Every structure is written in structure tokens, then in C-alpha cells.
Amino acid sequence: MASSSPDPTKALIASRLHYLDSSSCGYCDCKKERSGGLKSFPENADAPDESTHITIGCQVEQMTCQQYDDFINRGFRRSGTFMYTGDMLRGCCRAYTIRTDMDHLKITKEHRQVVNRFKRAIGCESKTKSKFELSSLIEAEKKSTRFHTRFEPSGYSKEKYELYKKYQIEVHNDNPAEVTPKQFKRFLCETPFPEVEVAGKPADWDRLNNWIANWGKDSTPHKKRIGPTHECYYLDDKLIAISILDFLPTGLSSIYFIWDPDYAHMSLGTLSGIREIQMCKELGLGYYYLGYYIDDCPKMRYKAKFGGEVLDLSNGAWIDLEKARPLMAEDTYFTLGESATTNEEPSLSLEKDRQRWQGSVTDISQELYGKDEVYDKADQISRSIKTTHDVDDFELPHVLPGALPMPILQKTIDSVPDLEVTLFVMTMGRWGSFEFSDLTPTIKSYVVDFIRLFGLQRLKETILIV
């Protein structure tokens, strides 16, 4: 057993990675004619013969908001305490991480109608016609005696659960027997974040709950809230909507939005997006993360109305949605770059912050990932790693957008011959630091998969459950 290990109070504590395939997809119901983001695959790409939903994820027992911020900027999302991404090459849907801000938001006729309808509903309709200003939404909320919101920790209450149940059954046609308090807690209340971030500080809550009232009065910069949050919408003291949010270092992540079907006429989903983008600007929160964007999914297209950028996983770069959408035509996965004359994936780094794409907007996915040679080389390096380091088969495919390409993985592993790994071993019921070379071939494969998807530096900060 080795000697060094991360601070258990600050470490990422997570299970090994799982590569899960299913014939059920909540976006396309796995009814597409083909599975995968290429029009044609080489035989050695291991692409499914039928439309298949693929999830790559792990159970996270502990994670800071800063760590999660890094993950969502690498294409991951969380559902409760499960953190996941997809296989953009082989899966049935192309789910791109999307973010926006006020600079990307272009106010449309629909946005104006939603805001004006909401102002009338809360009793703040202007009696004189004037040029539309988005700030009028804040002014209306400030004046209204009927409407207010309350920010609070992401905890359970019967009132919130009852609204969730009504929404899931009436809007999403869920089976009532499956919409349980346990499901609500697991999906929208439980988090992997430390208690200090969940609970927050009184001053942070006070600032959030009074930002509308103080709008235009206080321009002093304040330390912002970091942590999971529910914003509850009340009209005439009745709970009509809940916005489930993560306040993160670089922005505000929207997880889910629940609204009372009796108030469908208020378009609260669209309204919440406008409000939250506006709040990000007014409070200096950074970007507004809308989760995933799937261009050919009707459920997802509304996100395009807010503008923004999507993440090119292969390069780790952001590109304007307007420029990227033509590359998503016919449900194809796009990779930005020059002509793909090499047989290697882009030289992805998992240690650097994501940047905006600066090159030409050219898709090279088919040219690159459609080559037998790319998979042959990755397979060859995989065999070399397994032989040299006595490692079992990997869970992850040898070619996977968003993961370290095999040549970089090999160099990374070879650069640390004395690599130490901190593990919680379930069969032993305890944790400790181990030399990589002393691990079993199976556990070594878990470690290598982790490095591929999250990076070597993240491994050094992690207690991996095996």
C-alpha cells in the first residue's frame, strides 16, 4: 500500500465508470433508422446494428461544485448523484452541452409575448404602449403584490412533491404509481455536494431572495451563492412552479423545471429561461447552462430560442449554436477541424479550460471517424497498454469523443511509472492509497477508464470505489 492520498473531505468520491446500452430512449424512443452519429461506420468501430441509447456514467458519493463545474464544461450532467454523458459516435442521439448568456440571447416576438402575458397575469400590465424592454420583467416583479419567488436549499417538502407529481402525470404522462416521493428525492433533491454548499450561508440566501427588491439600488459586488438550489414560484401564495438549479463557479446550471398544468397559459418554462439568463447578468453569475441540446428532438428545440454555444467534445471547444446547427443536419456528430489527413483523433487535453473555437467551421467527423485506420491504431495501442501494464479489457470503446485518444492515454500512463491510486475497496470495507502496478488487472482497467474520461490530475484528487 502506498502512502499519499487526497483529503477525504475534499476528494471526489465516485464509483467506477459504466458503459450502459439500452433499447429505451426518452428522446427518440430508439426508433431511428440507424444508431450513431456517422452516415457509415467501419466494421471495427463497434457501432450497434440497431438504434441504441448509450449512457456512460458513475455514481458520485461526494463532489464539490467546483469539480462539477469542470465536468459540465466537459460534457457531463448529473441526475441526483449519478453523473453521466453519452457516446456521441454510437448512441441514438447527439446530445451537446449548451450554454448561453445575455450576449447570445436575441429577443423574439415569442419572448415579448411571454413576458407581456406574464406581466398581465401578475397584475403589472403597462397602461401605455412603449418600446419593449426586457428590464420591464424585473420592474413588474418588483411592483407585483401577487407574484414572488423564493430560493431555498434543494430539500424535500410535501408541497413541492405534490406539484412534481401533478406535472409528471399530466404533462409527461408518467405512470402515477412510479411518481413517488422517493423518485422525487432521488431525482431533484439528493446531491453529491458537501453540506456546507447545500446549506449555504444566510447572507447568500438573503441576497438571492432580495435581488429583485434591491435591483437598481445596490451595485456592490457580493460573493455569490454556490450550491444546489430550488427557486419556488408563488402566485397568490400558491406554489405554481419550481426551478431546480445548481449555482456553480462559472455559471448557473438548469437541471429541471416543474410547472402547474393549470397555469400552462403563462408559458412558465420559457419565462424561467428568460428570467434566469437575466439573473445571470444582473448578479454576475456567468453562463446559463441549459443541459443538453439535441437538434432533431422536438422536446429540445426550444433551447435554441435562447441562443448560445454548444461544446465540440472531440476538441473541447465551444462554438456558436447558429454556426453549429448546419453541421448537425441528418443527426450527424460534428468534429471541427481542417481536413482529416491523419489517422488520429484531435489532441484533446482534459486538464485545460475549454476555449471558443477559433478555426474554420468545417466538420471532419465522417472523414476522421469513418476511417478503419483510426480504430486499428487505437486497438493496437490498447493491446500494448494491456500487455505492458497487465490490464484487463476496458469498459470504454477505444475510440470515444470526449475521452483521451489512445496515443495520449499511453503517453500519460507511461509518464507516471510510480502512479498511486486511492481506492475504497468494497470487499475490504476501507480505503487507502495503492501502487497502480500492485492492483489486479480488473481494477487497473477501472483506473485507466477513469483517466481516459476524467484525466490524470482528477484521478489524483479522487477516491475511486471498486
Q: Which 3-state string (H, E, C) describes the chain?
A: CCCCCCCCCCCEEEECCEEEEECCCCCCCCCCCCCCCCCCCCHHHCCCCCCCEEEEEEEEEECCHHHHHHHHCCCCEEECCEEEEECCCCCCCCCEEEEECCCCCCCCHHHHHHHHHHHHHCCCCCCCCCCCCCHHHHHHHHHCCCEEEEEEECCCCHHHHHHHHHHHHHCCCCCHHHCCHHHHHHHHHCCCCCHHHHHCCHHHHHHHHCCCCCCCCCCCCCCCCCEEEEEEEEECCEEEEEEEEEEECCEEEEEEEEECHHHHHHCHHHHHHHHHHHHHHHCCCCEEEEEEECCCCCCCHHHHHHCCEEEECCCCEEEEHHHHHHHHHHHCCCCECCCCCCCCCCCCCCCCCCEECCCCCCECHHHHHCCHHHHHHHHHHHHHHHHHHCCCCCCCCCCCCCCCCHHHHHHHHHCCCCCEEEEEECCCCEEEEEEHHHCCHHHHHHHHHHHHHHCHHHHHCEEEEC
Q: Is 14 exposed, middle or buried (0-12, 13-18, 19+ CB in 10 A)?
A: buried
Q: Are 119 and 125 in contact (CB under 8 A)?
A: yes
Q: Are 120 and 311 in contact (CB under 8 A)?
A: no
The confidence score (pLDDT) of residue 156 equals 98
Q: Are 193 and 153 in contact (CB under 8 A)?
A: no
> pLDDT by residue for the chain (466 residues), tens digit each?
555 688 888 999 999 999 999 999 989 999 998 889 999 999 999 999 899 999 999 999 999 999 999 999 999 999 999 999 999 999 999 999 999 999 999 999 999 999 999 999 998 776 556 678 899 999 999 999 999 999 999 999 999 999 999 999 999 999 999 999 999 999 999 999 999 999 999 999 999 999 999 998 866 667 889 999 999 999 999 999 999 999 999 999 999 999 999 999 999 999 999 999 999 999 999 999 999 999 999 989 899 999 999 999 999 999 999 999 999 988 999 999 877 666 678 777 776 777 888 888 899 999 999 999 999 999 999 999 999 999 999 999 999 999 999 999 999 999 999 999 999 999 888 899 999 999 999 999 999 999 999 999 999 999 999 9
The confidence score (pLDDT) of residue 339 equals 72
The confidence score (pLDDT) of residue 75 equals 97
Report the chain's terminal Cα–Cα distance, integer Å.
Answer: 16
The confidence score (pLDDT) of residue 126 equals 64
Long-range contacts of 142-149, Cβ-Cβ distance < 8 Å, separation of 24 or more: 142/212, 142/213, 142/215, 146/122, 146/235, 146/236, 147/121, 147/122, 147/123, 147/233, 147/234, 147/235, 148/234, 149/212, 149/231, 149/232, 149/233, 149/234
User: Model's pTM, two decimal places?
Assistant: 0.94
Amino acid present at 345: E
The confidence score (pLDDT) of residue 3 equals 54
The confidence score (pLDDT) of residue 347 equals 75
Q: Are 339 and 364 in contact (CB under 8 A)?
A: yes
